[in-house]
Each structure stands twice: as structure tokens, then as C-alpha cells.
Structure 1
């Protein structure tokens, strides 16, 4: 086991209570944003959680991983579906590294030409 994800989720939720006390307007807006993120209903719950987990990987958010892994299990995401979504996230990260490597090479070439 890499981390205790259940404990991570519990701690993040408890810490959120501190932030709610310190900045209730911001936290109320955050909670509203999350509650309404699928307002038009175009995506089913499984698809939404698979996207959330792929994004959590690319943004490196442990709290997001904990919350959305729990939610994914609750809406019936399978391990096969999850591994496909994570494969897409991994491919995108390598794709982004490729694109930004091209940018570095381009910048280097421009400075070399000076």
C-alpha cells in the first residue's frame, strides 16, 4: 500500500472544516461549484468519475484521488474502466512532455541563432 487513502480522505475533509470556518464564502462557492459540475446531465456518473481520476493523476492531487476513487467505486466503475482512463492520463502526460520538449528545442534553436 502506497498511502492510506481512506485516512487521506478523512483528513482532507476534516481540514476542509477549518477552511470553511476561516473562509465560508469561498468554501460555499466551492461546494456549489462541485455540486453543479454536471448540471446538464450529459455525462453519466461513471464517466464523470473516470475523467476526475484521470485529471487527478495529471494534476497530482492526492485529495482528488482519494475522493474520486471512493466515488468511482460507489458508482460502479470497474478496474478495467479505471485502468483505461489512467492509461489515457498517462498517454496525455507523455504527449504534453513531447509537445513541451518541442518548445524547448525551438527556444534553444532561436537562442543558438543569435
Structure 2
């Protein structure tokens, strides 16, 4: 049995199939994405650094690669990208810690 990647690499056939199956939704998503990442109150570079961090929290390998490349293209340094990733790691760890309140509350209420 051949080794099959969990996440297949991007290819033109998959992109074509997505467009063929839902062209309106794809166009709307692209327009939404373009508007979100356009320079505004935050410059595009900052938005891409945020996207790199979020991609690490959501653990989307396609987003990690795409937004890391876009951040570099937008002028982000490797150090800025790594620092954004550390922010994501802290937020993920912080969320686990904060949600421990649910376990503690459950333990307090559980019959003994």
C-alpha cells in the first residue's frame, strides 16, 4: 500500500473541482477573504501575522503554509512569524488553563 499523506498537497485539479462544485460560494469566499486581508485599520502584514497565529491554533496545515508565505511576501520577518506562533501557543495553553474552571466546577458538584 503506498504511503498516502494525511493532507494532500495543493493541486490544480482539486482547485478546479472546488470551483466546479460551488462557483458562487467560492467567488463569495474569495471576495470576503480579499476584503478581510486588505489594508485597513491594520496593515496586511499584521493581518497575515494574526492569520499565522490563528492557523497554528486551528491546526490547519494549508493555512499555516499559505499565511506564512503571505506574511513573508508582505514583509514579515521570520522572527515576527515565530513570535506570532508563540503568541498562539500561549493563547492555546491559556485557554486550556482557563477551561480547567469547568473541571473544577464539575468536581465540586459531583456526588462523593
Please report the TM-score for the alignment, with normalisation by the length of structure 1. Answer: 0.81
Query: Could you tell me which residue of structure 2 aligns to residue 46 of structure 1?
Result: 45
In structure 2, stretches of 5+ residues that fail to align are 1-7
Q: CA deviation at 1:17?
A: 2.3
In structure 1, stretches of 5+ residues that fail to align are 1-6
Query: Could you tell me which residue of structure 1 aligns to residue 18 of structure 2?
Result: 19
Q: CA deviation at 1:38?
A: 4.1
Query: Could you tell me which residue of structure 2 aligns to residue 103 of structure 1?
Result: 102
Q: CA deviation at 1:108?
A: 2.5
Query: Could you tell me which residue of structure 1 aligns to residue 79 of structure 2?
Result: 80
Please report the TM-score for the alignment, with normalisation by the length of structure 2. Answer: 0.82
The 1:18–1:70 alpha-carbon spacing in structure 2 relative to 1, beyond 3 Å, is same
Cα distance in structure 2, aligned partners of 1:105 and 1:81: 37
Cα shift readout 1:24-50 (whole Å, capped 9, x = no counterpart):
111111111101114571111210110
Query: Could you tell me which residue of structure 1 aligns to residue 30 of structure 2?
Result: 31
**Which range is displaced more, 25-34 or 52-61?**
25-34
Q: Secondary structure at the residue paired with 1:37?
A: helix
The 1:78–1:39 alpha-carbon spacing in structure 2 relative to 1, beyond 3 Å, is closer
How many matched pairs? 105
Query: Could you tell me which residue of structure 1 aligns to residue 90 of structure 2?
Result: 91
- Larger relative contact order (Cα-Cα within 8 Å, sequence gap ≥ 6): 1
